[in-house]
A and B are shown apart, each in its own frame.
Chain A
Amino acid sequence: MTSLASNRSAAGPADAPFVRIEGVTKRFGDFVAVNNISLDIHRSELFCLLGGSGSGKSTLLRMLAGFEHPTEGRILIDGQDMTGVPPYERPVNMMFQSYALFPHMTVADNVGYGLRRAGVARREVKRRVAEMLNLVKMGDFAHRKPDQLSGGQRQRVALARSLVRQPKLLLLDEPLGALDKKLREETQFELMKIQTQLGTTFIVVTHDQDEAMTLASRMGVMNEGQLVQVGEPRNLYEFPSSRFVAQFIGAVNMFEGVLVDDEPDHVRIRSEEAGCTFFVNHGISSAPGQTVHVAVRPEKIRLSREIPPGADNVVKGVVDEIAYLGNLSVFQVRLGTGKLIRVTLPNLDRHEGTTFEPSDTVHCSWGPSSGVVLAS
């Protein structure tokens, strides 16, 4: 918690927000792409907008860049109202999903394009282009054409081109989408390094939750044009506010139940689906009798042959299937009620076979602070 707190003060909630999105709605005909979103983003933040396709995240990004105009609401960048300001006059640059490198120009000309438009002197353009290409480790490729580069190299050039004007705000549309898995992981860390080095505010749009979790200092989850939840990655993962967020970010076991006891410091939930009563040590201030959901992450569940003494939440089941992933194993456990749950255990020791075998009877247990009660 201390590290989180220091992070938060670095982001500076006391400052005026750097980007302020005020009640922005975008309609295309009858279709509402972005539905009444308000969001503040602080200086030097790396903010991720996470959502599935058609969630409106790209439309929101395009409105920040100035390619689309809000039907309602307004956007302020660094205190300046962006309504009616064309893309070429905004203190914003964008890295396109397709990279959108100019095919008829060399790498150096691509990167220098924005500087030449700003009327920077020829020698200065050359110097800053070289500097930027070195930053993204593309200095040796300055005279190549984009079609002579690999996907990863193009991505670097696109990044250099969007950063060279030293924008106050950099928008990245699925920046790593076109890269293969290994390259993507490498590039994620490089992107973060560059962001810290330059102190530019980044807004990244992605559909990849791992990417968002790795990159973001703060992230927002979007669904059907609405911003469902905003917070630090850890917050969103551990304290999702809705079933959608819990299921969208990471794997989760979801149990439906009825609230039987609601105290300020704990709740009890009777779940027919699980065949037991759950104990969760946080209150949700709802009336007893209400239908709620309990979300438990697979890695927070322990497996044992005997009922563990003093456990608050225990369900009995039979191991259905085991997937060995190297660093961890995923168990599918079928409960007496027929419901399948997912449990992941780290493979701490090296040994032949597993501790549990298919069709073993096991007890799944978790602590009172492991589950989250979700009313919506």
Chain B
Amino acid sequence: MTANAHLEQPARAAPGTPRNGSPQQFGRQAVTAVPMLWLLVFFALPFVFVMKISLAEADIAVPPYTALLTWVDNKILSIHIDLSKYLFLFEDSLYLAAYLGSLKIAAVSTIFCLFIAFPIALFIARQKPETRIFWLALVMLPFWTSMLLRVYAWIGILQSNGIINSVLLELGLIHEPLALLQTDFAVYLGIIYSYLPFMVLPLYATLEKLDETLIEASADLGARPTTSFLTVTLPLALPGVVAGCVMVFVPAVGEFVIPALMGGPDTLMIGRVLWDEFFSNRDWPMASAVAIVMLIVLVVPVMLLRSRGRHSLGHG
């Protein structure tokens, strides 16, 4: 009844009355206005600022870049757009290497996360509802401590006089400490460890909804457990796989803390390049250009993934 009334309301409005003048319309707009405003203030505006800075030239001033718009003789508005930073991104192979390095580390970490998280999520989803909460709590518990602290804890474990090396030395398995920290290995370990819950949770959410009788039906029709997994469980968990991969891949590309603290001097990731441009070189326009390109590099594959995810969802 209420749904009907809701639908008929705009149709019944007298001709000439603006349709969005009705109280329902206003209410709907007011509700969507909050997230819209949020996006505007915290995403669109900063994006415009960064965009603007990336098109300026570096300057020894406060702020350290030239203005885009200046009044000449208070009459003519002149616009200075400098695309040299973007061109420089392609000239200096460092940037390309950093982008590719970030994408590689993020992609490999995402795949590892997927392979580690899937059995965990499946295990939790197959528990009794009462015990699921316990296992989920274990997955989420690390969030209760600061990420920085957890990274420092890993440093404590991996460093040359850390737990692993001490134990191995004590046992006589090695004679000098292994170089675990400041390697790509440490970066992978740190990223996989930190982002694993972001993969487990969306996977769990789809697997938990999976009807157990579908698995029984496939077994009944002659599918061995592996076949059953590949033909039923995995295709039906695909939305969760896509969501989890996006949630791990995107932040991993821009990750700064983990490569900075755990990576070696040759671990090239875009987050560190960005930091160096801002704080070491004080070249804000260059740093902004790096950030804008990174955003484009991320948005395009994510949109592709999302559209594919929606495609597979829409057709079951």
Interface residues of A (CB under 8 A from B): 65-67, 86-88, 92-94, 96, 98, 100-105, 113-114, 117-118, 145-147, 161-162, 165
B-side interface residues toward A, CB under 8 Å?
A: 211, 213-214, 216-224, 227, 231-232, 235-236, 315-316
Instruction: For A96, list chain B residues within 8 Å (CB).
Output: 213, 216-217
Known: A65-B220, A96-B217, A117-B221. A145 touches B227 (CB 8 A): no
A104 touches B222 (CB 8 A): no
Q: How far is the CA of A87 from the CA of B236 in the complex (A)?
A: 22
Residue of B nearest to A164 (CB): B221
B224 A88 Cβ-Cβ under 8 A:
yes
Min CB distance B314 to A, Å, is: 10
From residue B288, how far is it (CB to closest CB) to chain A in Å? 44
Given contacts A117-B227, A145-B315, A145-B316, contact A100 B214 (CB under 8 A): yes
A65 CA / B235 CA spacing, docked (Å) = 25
Contact residues in B for A92 (Cβ distance below 8 Å): 220
Bound Cα distance A67, B215 (Å)? 11
30 CB-based A-B contacts, threshold 8 Å: A65-B216, A65-B220, A66-B219, A67-B216, A87-B216, A87-B219, A87-B220, A88-B220, A88-B223, A92-B220, A94-B217, A96-B213, A98-B211, A100-B217, A102-B214, A102-B232, A103-B214, A103-B236, A104-B235, A104-B236, A104-B315, A104-B316, A113-B221, A113-B223, A113-B231, A117-B223, A145-B315, A147-B316, A161-B221, A162-B220
A165 in complex: contacting residue of B214, B219, B222, CB < 8 Å = B222
Assembled-state Cα–Cα distance A147/B214 (Å): 15
Q: Is the CB of A88 within 8 A of B213?
A: no
Chain A residue contacts of B213, Cβ below 8 A: 96, 98, 100
Set of chain A residues within 8 Å of B211, measured between Cβ atoms: 98, 100
Question: Distance in Å from the Cβ of A350 to the closest Cβ of chain B?
Answer: 43
Given contacts A104-B236, A104-B316, contact A93 B221 (CB under 8 A): yes
Minimum CB–CB distance from A113 to chain B (whole Å) comes to: 5
B-chain residues with CB within 8 Å of residue A93 when the two chains form the complex: 220-221
Taking A94-B216, A102-B214 as given, write out 10 further A-B residue pairs in contact, using a Cβ cutoff of 8 Å, ordered by the A residue number: A65-B216, A67-B216, A86-B219, A96-B213, A98-B213, A103-B236, A104-B316, A117-B227, A146-B316, A161-B221
Q: How far is the CA of A66 from the CA of B227 in the complex (A)?
A: 18
Q: How far is the CA of A102 from the CA of B315 in the complex (A)?
A: 12
Task: Name the residue of chain B whose CB is nearest to the CB of A148.
Answer: B316
Report the Cα distance A79→B221, complex, angstroms: 21
Cβ of B224: which chain A residues have Cβ within 8 Å of it? 88
Chain B residues with Cβ below 8 Å from A101 are 217
Name the distance in Å between A352's Cβ and chain B's nearest Cβ. Answer: 42
